[in-house]
Amino acid sequence: MLLKNTDRGLYCEAGDFYVDPWKPVDVAVVTHGHSDHARPGSRLYVGEASGKTILRERLGFDARIEMLAYGEAFSRNGVKVSLHPAGHILGSAQVRIEHQGEVWVVSGDYKLENDGTCRPFELIRCHTFVTESTFGLPIYRWRPQAEIFREINEWWRTNQGLERTSVLFCYSLGKAQRLLAGLDPSLGPIFVHGAIERFLPAYRDAGVKLPRVAKAEAEVVKQSTPRGFVLAPTAADGSPWLRKFGDISTAFASGWMQIRGPRRRRSLDRGFALSDHADWPGLLETIEATGAENIWVTHGYTGQLVRWLREKGRNAEVVETHFEGEKEEKEEAPTRAQEAEGEA
């Protein structure tokens, strides 16, 4: 077994390193900069080079971080480790681990559709594939993003006709920048919450083309003509900050919006099912194409995906991780600490 699950996270004994550990360790290979995967406190980090600004933001400026480019490898005790595009957010990587001819791949979070703000997912063949399963139920089947963006831009235009500012809630890192890239800036001014603005330089430095935006300040947003578009973290919903914008229409961009219940519960006008995770067909297709003999399933609908795979005659098992626990509302419900950190 090249990897084993420990109370600190997935551990490679032969190479003596962890992947996305949730407790401080000596060597941590991180798949991407979301706070449940990149946690501060470890002595040495290995991350993908295009996401370096994000990792710095997340892990602190005194953290030791070794940057690897996609495809580049390093070796430890005869274990070869390389990072490969996961298509989740800027700098997100799958971790390929090779030892004595055996290959394991840890997917981290991934999606198959090319969103234009990060290197698209690349398939790596392996013997054991450790996959996420956030949206591991067949009700989750994404429509092409072009359709969703058309609807978002249309919603913006409709709101302008009604003299309303459009407020779209989203995850601050990754989703927000993807949305910015897909909005039609010719429609009007675009504003962002501070938690989102914080991560824009990382994308711009990496050469991702994003429209011009301004920080969402009440006076400017309220008076913008034509009515503007505000991107904000979900934590801002119902906040005093938002109430100063005057007449608004609210929406949420997230894979969870595939279902009406979560949207209606939040009293949002619209929900746009746009996700940075693989949908059900995406998960199955990827698992199949890796050619893996063993499949480890982590965070999400683990039990359901494992049962499905086993019924198809595959070797699959649940690997309990701390990004786990059926955290269905992950994208929507930030922890207190995250809110305090202003990143929601």
Partner 1 sequence: MKRFTELFCELDQTTRTNEKVTALERYFAQAPPADAAWGLHFLCGRTLPRVVSSKNLWSWMAEESQLPEWLIAECYDAVGDAAETIALLLPRTGSGTTLGLAQFVTEALLPLAQFPERAKHDRLIQTWRALDSNQRLVYNKLITGNFRVGVARTLVVRALAAVAKIEPSIMAHRVLGRWQPTPEDFQRLLSPDHPDHQLAKPYPFFLASPLEIKIQRGESLEALGTVGDWQVEWKWDGIRAQLIRRGNETLVWSRGDEMVTDSFPEIVAAGDALLNGTVLDGEILAWQGEDPLPFGTLQRRLGRKAVGAKTQRDFPISFVAYDLLELNAEDLRGRPLSERRTRLEEVIAQADRRLSGSRVGTESENESLLPGFESLIDAETVAPRILRLSPLVHAASWVELEQLRKEARSRKVEGVMLKKLNSAYGVGRQRGDWWKWKIDPFVIDAVLVAAQRGHGRRASLYTDYTFAVWDQGQLVPVAKAYSGLTDEEILQVDAFVRYHTTGKFGPVRSVKPQQVFELAFEGIQESTRHKSGVAVRFPRMNRWRHDKKPEEADTLETLRRLAK
Closest CA to 69 of 85, 87, 45, 53: 85
C-beta of 243: minimal distance to partner 1 in Å?
Answer: 16
Residue type, 229: F
Give yes or no for residue 141 binding partner 1 (CB under 8 A): yes
Q: Is 8 in the site for partner 1 (CB under 8 A)?
A: no
Q: Are 174 and 89 in contact (CB under 8 A)?
A: yes
CB-wise, 137 or 181, nearer to partner 1?
A: 137
Q: How big, in percent rounded to 5, are the helix, strand and coil portions of the chain? A: 30, 25, 45
Nearer to partner 1, 13 or 36 (CB): 36
Beta bridge partners of 18: 11, 28
Q: Which is nearer to partner 1, 29 or 278 (CB)?
A: 278
- What's the longest Cα–Cα distance across the chain? 64
Q: Exactly one of 219, 240, 260, 313 binds partner 1 (CB under 8 A); which one? A: 260
Q: Residue 173: name the closest of 144, 206, 197, 157 by CA.
A: 197
82 binds partner 1 (CB under 8 A): no
Interface pick for partner 1 out of 138, 201, 246, 291 (rule CB under 8 A): 138
- Residue 74, judged by CB atoms within 10 A of its CB (0-12, 13-18, 19+), counts as middle
Query: Residue written as tokens 């997917």?
Result: 107
Q: Considering the rule CB under 8 A, would residue 311 count as an interface residue with partner 1?
A: yes
Q: What are phi and psi of 84, to 5 degrees?
A: -140, 145
Instruction: Count other C-beta atoms under 10 Å from residue 100's C-beta.
Output: 8
Q: Which stretch binds partner 1 (CB under 8 A): 165-173, 183-191, 194-202, 260-268?
A: 260-268
Considering CB under 8 A, how many residues would be counted as binding partner 1? Answer: 25
Among 36-44, 80-88, 226-234, 257-265, which window interacts with partner 1 (CB under 8 A)?
257-265
Q: Which is nearer to partner 1, 101 or 261 (CB)?
A: 261
Q: Measuring CA to CA, which residue among 206, 17, 178 is closest to residue 106?
A: 17
Q: How far apart are CA 57 and CA 54, in angstroms?
A: 5
- Shortest distance in whole angstroms from residue 140 CB to partner 1: 8
For residue 329, state whether it binds partner 1 (rule: CB under 8 A): yes
Residues contacting residue 4 through CB under 8 Å, at least 6 positions apart: 10, 11, 13
Pick one of 7, 265, 313, 337: the residue that binds partner 1 (CB under 8 A): 265
CB of 340 to partner 1, least distance (A): 15
What does the binding site for partner 1 look like in residue numbers (CB under 8 A)? 137-139, 141, 258-262, 264-265, 267-270, 301, 304, 307-308, 311, 325-326, 328-329, 333
